[in-house]
Chain A
Amino acid sequence: MEKILTKNFGLKDSHLLSVYESTGGYGTLKKLFAMQAKDVIEEVKKSGLRGRGGAGFPTGMKWSFVPQDNPKPKYLCVNADESEPGTFKDRYILELDPHRLIEGIVICCYAIRSHAAYIYIRGEFVFPYHRLEAAVKEAYAKGYLGKNILGSGYDLEVVVHRGAGAYICGEETALMESLEGKRGMPRLKPPFPAVVGLFGCPTVINNVETISALPYILENGPDAYRKYGTEKSPGTKLFCVSGHVQRPGNYEVPLGYPLKKLIYEDCGGMRDGKALKAVIPGGSSVPILTAAEAEEVTLDYEGLAAKGSMLGSGGVIVMDETVDMVKSLTNLAHFYSHESCGQCSPCREGTGWSHKILKRILAGEGRPGDIEQLEKNADHMMGKTICVLADALAMPYIGK
């Protein structure tokens, strides 16, 4: 299979502009500037590209929601606040192929008629940040960013902004609050960012991986992209495999790829000959799969939904038979209660309460009724809050 996102990963100094250019990088810009913005959106719509941040929303459709008659400036926010436990795909793109992201940014901004993009990068990503900053500088110096890009008359400014360590700032509206200098707390919707986003202006927010797929789509056309993946989940995706496999790491595979194949072939199977117990297939926020489910499921939006889980961010956490499920759930509960922004009552109180019960069970002090209470808490949190952080904790312990 042709690699779309990771094709340069093995090259020496793949992060440098010269290397990127030598593989045809920034070659799509000429084509781009000869196109109408609306035609770019059409191409992306046709490609069927869906958001790789977790929700899987069709990218072209998201762009088309930006009102073009709105006199306010339009913004692109690139979500590089990759913090979902078990996920480390954007980080590799930022470290190894930052120019692919920048080229994608130019394509997206041109399509939505934006002249400013903000890359919100996770604060702990110090090395990726330096790589990205250097790449942005190179791109400015070479005229791929800034005023009058390649003589097209099109201007684009790109700002890299570092987060300060809050998981919730990866939620798109919390990210915007944070960018605006406020506490990172998700906003009420409606209004949606496409209409009222960053600084109150129409905004598109896309994940690093989503944007990085754009140069390929523009260069090769939607049909070439659709060669990979399934009808409803076209293209390729990065899966970050961690846990008890022989070869953990990032794998770019076409959507619809069997999880079993990923674990047993690409990753070399389970470590130390242990049996598979469970898999969290899409980052810690998605429902967990049993071994049996994991061995049947395909890695696409629909395939995972059919098993009651989600594709999410593509963070595949593989657990073998030695894993204590209570301990892993307690670990998750600790994470979500720590990262809850605290604005909605059910999440603020429910995540902390659940964590306390789990800690007690783990310490051997479980009591009759604890499981029922955890189930109740899950039910009382799910779908009752502004964002889905509480749902993310509720889902693994309902386990559906």
Chain B
Amino acid sequence: MPTLTIDGKQVTVKDGTSVFEAARQNAVEIPHFCYHPKLSIAGNCRMCLVDIEKMPKPAISCNTVATEGMVVHTQTEKVQELQKNVLEFILINHPIDCPVCDQAGECKLQKYYMDHTLTDSGFRETKVHKPKKVDLGPLVMLDDERCILCSRCVRFTDEITKTGELCIVNRGDRSTLTTFPGKQLDNKYSLNTVDICPVGALTSKPFRFQCRVWFLKSTPSICTGCSTGCNININHNDGKVHRYLPRENEAVNQCWSCDEGRLSYDFINEGRLDRPTIHQDEKTVSASAEDAVAEVVGALRRLAPEDVVFVGSAYESNENNAALKKLARELGIETVHYSAHETEDPYFDDFLIKADKNPNRAGVEKLGFQRFSGGTQTKLVVALEGLGKSDLERLKSDEPVLFVLLASNQSDSAEYADVLLPTATFAEQAGSFTNFQKRVQKFDKAFEPEGSVKPAWRWLAEIAKGLGKDWKGISEETLLEESFGLKREDLGETGKILE
């Protein structure tokens, strides 16, 4: 446990810690491009040079191990001069096309230039020209002139996905990032290269040119693509999701996410159900929220508990399922069922992608829900979004008198529903999912749902109210606490494993 001095402050770190990490752990951020905590040390950008007393030359902090008594300077004029000079070199052949670059606003080059330089370059020569729009693969575009050759993406494909599609060819200032001959950057995690690209060289095909990043708001959330529950930030603007970015959670997804998951947000933007509908006389008609709720309340009043089946969902949050369970209990319905998204021949691997494409199966199982199997000959079914295809077939064959669906999106199930209550997606409400590790992870509300759309639990609370139940003061917090014995604030940033 060496103790060293960084910018005049004494810090003690674990053996083997780099000067860079020692500084970072003590809230000193050393500028860098090539260093990435999950990748091998390349030491090529030279941006993290610091001044270490008794060392003959400036040292790169990423590859210098902190030792006892070391005295490190990261902010002195000398170090700022080093950073400025390295940055000048990196910028001489850069196109400086920020106005048309997607990275503008979240670009390390821009940031460091603002932080450290803010003067004109001495470069008066012709820049080196390289390929401008290289189609690296199905999801990633490359502008080689913007590339600063930090090799993060190359190391990612070598070390993380072990697919090794990327390489740098040629030497000196002609060095060029490309794919190996005949190969494409086509793996299940390719968009992570865009995340770790510190500049605008690698861009995401689905995101590029869609929105300037300074318009984006960021909300911490959980990916619903599978049961891994990768931690993400939803980047959105004006009620539209523009991208997911992985959010760090060492115990779940480290700092990565898969391409499929991160592109699974279309359902939030498109194909939404925006008003309650009631199926009457062979026709589906819009209804007011009050009328739709009244229809459900009336049916629940008329029918005995054994004639009613509640179907929760492995696709919905802990809180929405908990509300369904609460209502069932209060109505004397003994068993609550659940349905799940079904995928034929699902892809999975031993990294982040699970075969179970439902974000919350562990949550509904914790609630004691039984897998829906149909054959119940019931008169009323109340189901949440996420009814699987075969479950819908079973339900249809049961021919319930009334099928109430609380759903966010158009689907076969929605078409079949007699009463449809439009629900918020997870992006439009706060809540939590329980991932495959039985880790309860919270997500925040990114933006308000439109019109009469609301979280399923709020519809259920209105139904409860119509039935004369006292659900006053109910919230995401109370639902989680009641059913899972967990306080939302205790979930923290990284979630909590269920006992």
Residues of A within 8 A of B (CB): 166, 168, 183, 188, 337-346, 348-353, 356-357, 360, 367, 369, 373, 376, 379-380, 383-386
Give the contacting residue for A352; candidates B49, B56, B57, B128; CB below 8 A: B128
Prevailing SS type, chain A contact patch:
helix
- Chain A residues near B88 (CB-CB < 8 A): 380
Q: Find residues 128-150 in chain B having any chain A CB closer than 8 Å to their own CB.
A: 128, 148-149
Name the distance in Å between B46's Cβ and chain A's nearest Cβ: 5
Whether the pair A343, B149 counts as a contact (CB closer than 8 A) is: yes
Name the distance in Å between B488's Cβ and chain A's nearest Cβ: 46
Known: A367-B124, A373-B122. A349 touches B46 (CB 8 A): no
Whether the pair B125, A356 counts as a contact (CB closer than 8 A) is: yes
- Chain B residues near A386 (CB-CB < 8 A): 43-44
Whether the pair A342, B171 counts as a contact (CB closer than 8 A) is: yes
Give the contacting residue for A380; candidates B44, B89, B168; CB below 8 A: B89
Known: A343-B151, A353-B125, A356-B126. A188 touches B85 (CB 8 A): no
Looking at B172-180, B284-292, B375-383, the stretch in contact with chain A turns out to be B172-180
Name the distance in Å between A26's Cβ and chain B's nearest Cβ: 41
Name the distance in Å between A209's Cβ and chain B's nearest Cβ: 27
Determine whether B299 belongs to the interface, using a CB cutoff of 8 Å to chain A: no
- Chain A residues near B171 (CB-CB < 8 A): 166, 168, 338-342
Whether the pair A353, B44 counts as a contact (CB closer than 8 A) is: no
Determine whether B45 belongs to the interface, using a CB cutoff of 8 Å to chain A: yes
Closest Cβ neighbor of A336 among chain B residues: B172
- Chain B residues near A340 (CB-CB < 8 A): 171-173
Residues of B within 8 A of A (CB): 41-47, 49, 56-58, 63, 82, 85-86, 88-90, 92-93, 122-126, 128, 148-149, 151, 167-168, 170-175
- Chain A residues near B149 (CB-CB < 8 A): 342-343, 345, 348
Q: In the complex the two chains form, what is the Cα distance from A65 to B299 in whole Å?
A: 86
Q: In the complex the two chains form, what is the Cα distance from A188 to B128 in whole Å?
A: 27
- Chain B residues near A188 (CB-CB < 8 A): 41-43, 63
Q: In the complex the two chains form, what is the Cα distance from A376 to B124 in whole Å?
A: 14
Name the distance in Å between B427's Cβ and chain A's nearest Cβ: 40
- Chain B residues near A369 (CB-CB < 8 A): 122
Whether the pair A346, B86 counts as a contact (CB closer than 8 A) is: yes
- Chain A residues near B125 (CB-CB < 8 A): 353, 356-357, 360
Known: A337-B173, A349-B173. A376 touches B122 (CB 8 A): yes
Whether the pair A349, B49 counts as a contact (CB closer than 8 A) is: no
- Chain A residues near B151 (CB-CB < 8 A): 343
9 A-B interface contacts by CB (under 8 A): A339-B171, A342-B173, A343-B44, A344-B45, A346-B46, A349-B90, A353-B89, A383-B56, A384-B58
Whether the pair B46, A342 counts as a contact (CB closer than 8 A) is: no
Known: A345-B44, A346-B85. A352 touches B58 (CB 8 A): no
- Chain A residues near B173 (CB-CB < 8 A): 337, 340, 342, 348-349, 351-353
Q: In the complex the two chains form, what is the Cα distance from A370 to B123 in whole Å?
A: 10
Q: In the complex the two chains form, what is the Cα distance from A345 to B149 in whole Å?
A: 8
- Chain B residues near A350 (CB-CB < 8 A): 89
Known: A341-B171, A342-B171. A349 touches B92 (CB 8 A): yes
- Chain A residues near B86 (CB-CB < 8 A): 345-346, 380, 384
Give the contacting residue for B45; candidates A338, A345, A357; CB below 8 A: A345
Whether the pair B49, A342 counts as a contact (CB closer than 8 A) is: no
Give the contacting residue for B172; candidates A341, A356, A373, A376; CB below 8 A: A341
Whether the pair B58, A342 counts as a contact (CB closer than 8 A) is: no
Q: A338-B172, A379-B85 are in contact. List 15 more A-B contacts (CB 8 A).
A: A337-B173, A338-B171, A342-B171, A343-B42, A344-B45, A345-B45, A345-B46, A345-B149, A346-B86, A348-B172, A350-B89, A351-B172, A369-B122, A380-B89, A383-B56
Whether the pair A342, B92 counts as a contact (CB closer than 8 A) is: no
Known: A345-B46, A367-B124. A339 touches B172 (CB 8 A): yes
- Chain B residues near A379 (CB-CB < 8 A): 85
Closest Cβ neighbor of B94 among chain A residues: A349
- Chain A residues near B47 (CB-CB < 8 A): 345
Known: A183-B168, A384-B49. A353 touches B92 (CB 8 A): yes
- Chain A residues near B175 (CB-CB < 8 A): 342-343, 348
Q: In the complex the two chains form, what is the Cα distance from A380 to B124 in whole Å?
A: 17
Return the 4 tightest CB-CB contacts between A and B, nearest first.
A342-B175, A352-B173, A349-B89, A340-B172
Known: A337-B173, A356-B126, A384-B49. A344 touches B168 (CB 8 A): no
Q: In the complex the two chains form, what is the Cα distance from A355 to B172 in whole Å?
A: 12
Closest Cβ neighbor of A351 among chain B residues: B172
Whether the pair A384, B124 counts as a contact (CB closer than 8 A) is: no
Q: In the complex the two chains form, what is the Cα distance from A344 to B42 in whole Å?
A: 9
Whether the pair B89, A345 counts as a contact (CB closer than 8 A) is: yes
Name the distance in Å between B164's Cβ and chain A's nearest Cβ: 12
Closest Cβ neighbor of B171 among chain A residues: A342
- Chain A residues near B63 (CB-CB < 8 A): 188
Closest Cβ neighbor of B33 among chain A residues: A345
- Chain A residues near B45 (CB-CB < 8 A): 344-345
Name the distance in Å between B326's Cβ and chain A's nearest Cβ: 59
Q: In the complex the two chains form, what is the Cα distance from A349 to B175 in whole Å?
A: 10
- Chain B residues near A168 (CB-CB < 8 A): 171
Give the contacting residue for A342; candidates B43, B85, B167, B172; CB below 8 A: B172
Closest Cβ neighbor of B84 among chain A residues: A380
Name the distance in Å between A173's Cβ and chain B's nearest Cβ: 12
- Chain A residues near B148 (CB-CB < 8 A): 345
Q: In the complex the two chains form, what is the Cα distance from A188 to B45 in whole Å?
A: 12
Q: In the complex the two chains form, what is the Cα distance from A353 to B172 in whole Å?
A: 11
Q: In the complex the two chains form, what is the Cα distance from A373 to B92 in whole Å?
A: 13
Name the distance in Å between B45's Cβ and chain A's nearest Cβ: 6
In the complex, which of the residues A353, A357, A367, A386 has the most CB atoms of chain B within 10 Å of its own CB atom?
A353
Whether the pair B58, A383 counts as a contact (CB closer than 8 A) is: yes
Name the distance in Å between A176's Cβ and chain B's nearest Cβ: 16
- Chain A residues near B89 (CB-CB < 8 A): 345-346, 348-350, 353, 380
Q: In the complex the two chains form, what is the Cα distance from A168 to B88 in whole Å?
A: 24
Whether the pair A342, B42 counts as a contact (CB closer than 8 A) is: no
Q: In the complex the two chains form, what is the Cα distance from A359 to B43 in whole Å?
A: 31
- Chain B residues near A383 (CB-CB < 8 A): 56-58
Name the distance in Å between A178's Cβ and chain B's nearest Cβ: 13
Whether the pair A342, B122 counts as a contact (CB closer than 8 A) is: no
Closest Cβ neighbor of A372 among chain B residues: B122
Whether the pair A349, B44 counts as a contact (CB closer than 8 A) is: no
Name the distance in Å between A310's Cβ and chain B's nearest Cβ: 16
Q: In the complex the two chains form, what is the Cα distance from A338 to B172 in whole Å?
A: 6
- Chain B residues near A337 (CB-CB < 8 A): 172-173
Whether the pair B90, A345 counts as a contact (CB closer than 8 A) is: yes
Closest Cβ neighbor of A385 among chain B residues: B46
Q: In the complex the two chains form, what is the Cα distance from A350 to B49 in whole Å?
A: 17
- Chain A residues near B42 (CB-CB < 8 A): 188, 343
- Chain B residues near A373 (CB-CB < 8 A): 122
Whether the pair B58, A349 counts as a contact (CB closer than 8 A) is: no
Q: In the complex the two chains form, what is the Cα distance from A339 to B175 in whole Å?
A: 11
Whether the pair B43, A384 counts as a contact (CB closer than 8 A) is: no
- Chain B residues near A183 (CB-CB < 8 A): 167-168
Q: In the complex the two chains form, what is the Cα distance from A168 to B175 in whole Å?
A: 14
Q: In the complex the two chains form, what is the Cα distance from A343 to B63 in whole Å?
A: 15
Q: In the complex the two chains form, what is the Cα distance from A288 to B170 in whole Å?
A: 30
Q: In the complex the two chains form, what is the Cα distance from A373 to B56 in whole Å?
A: 24
Closest Cβ neighbor of B176 among chain A residues: A342
Known: A337-B173, A350-B89. A384 touches B82 (CB 8 A): yes
In the complex, which of the residues B47, B122, B126, B168 has the most CB atoms of chain A within 10 Å of its own CB atom?
B122
Closest Cβ neighbor of A367 among chain B residues: B124
